[in-house]
Amino acid sequence: MKEKAPDQALIEVMLSDGTVIKARKLKMRDLLNATAKDATLKSMQLVAMAIVEVDGEQRKLSALEDIANWDLDDFTKVSEAVTSFSGVNVDEAAVKNS
């Protein structure tokens, strides 16, 4: 069984309320596991999959329970940061997987 490297590359983004999130790079399996038919929800699923830490606590977020409550500006900021960091365009990925 492979263990995750402790020095795995993460990106840090601060939300408008001061919350600091850390996210990992997206992987191909994340694109396959984002199953929503709606492009917005699929983007939310991908962002939720990438986030590994919120304010220093390891967390696994839900697109509908957690990210749906974010300000749109915060979502856009995190989504752009994660996709740029990962080298993926979420909108293109969403269209390809529809």
3-class SS string, the chain? CCCCCCCCCEEEEECCCCCEEEEECCCHHHHHHCCCCCHHHHHHHHHHHHEEEECCEECCCCCCCCHHHCCHHHHHHHHHHHHHHHCCCHHHHHHHCC
| Residue 88 confidence class, pLDDT cut points 50, 70, 90 | confident
Q: What is the mean pLDDT of residues 65-89?
A: 93
Residue 69 located in a structural domain: yes
Residue 65 located in a structural domain: yes
Residue 16 located in a structural domain: yes
Residue 4 located in a structural domain: no
Residue 5 located in a structural domain: no
Residue 3's pLDDT is: 46
| Tens-digit pLDDT profile for residues 11-43 | 999 999 999 999 999 999 999 999 999 999 999
Residue 2's pLDDT is: 45
Residue 3 located in a structural domain: no
Distance of CA 66 to the CA centre of its chain: 12
Q: How many domains are contained in the chain?
A: 1
Residue 82 located in a structural domain: yes
Domain that holds residue 67: 10-96
Q: Which two tokens stand for residue 2?
A: 């492979």
Residue 1 located in a structural domain: no
Residue 91's pLDDT is: 57
Q: Which residues, listed in sequence order, are joined to residue 53 by a DSSP beta bridge?
A: 22, 58
